[in-house]
Amino acid sequence: MTSPIRPFIVILAALPLAACMQDSSTTREADIRAPQARVVGEPVNCVAVNRIDSTDVHDDYTIDFEMLGDTVYRNTLPNRCAGLGFEERFGYDLRGTTQLCSNDIIRVLDSDGRQVGTCGLGQFVPVEIVGAR
């Protein structure tokens, strides 16, 4: 014999989970501080490290890679990278390659150079920063 209470418990257990999923996407949008950008080409999976001129960390989700020759690739991380936006510095290991790729892991570094977290990269999307230059 099945208890009539069980379906009710399952429904109640699912409600907090659905609320968390909605809150996380809302929080992500609120936490992104990157300037607006217009996509100017197709995404690529890798960039040559020797072509990276500088990087600009905007928040826990967004890094702009400014390349030699004025190309900017925006990398929007697939997941929040806690501490990245605060520390604004990261490192990476190339492991015998000369490219940084979307399947690579970056290490968030504090002001003393200590690792405080790791995060996966997304694709590199060529962009033009709106209102720049």
**Separation in Å, CA 35 to CA 8, 13, 23, 130, 131:** 46, 39, 23, 7, 9
Average pLDDT, the chain: 83
**Which residue stretches of 48-130 are H helix?**
84-87
pLDDT in tens, 55-74: 999 999 999 999 999 999 99
Question: Contact at 8 Å (CB) between 118 and 108?
Answer: yes
Query: Nearest to residue 78, comparing CAs of 111, 121, 127?
Result: 121
Q: What is the pTM of this model?
A: 0.76
Q: What is the pLDDT of residue 96?
A: 84
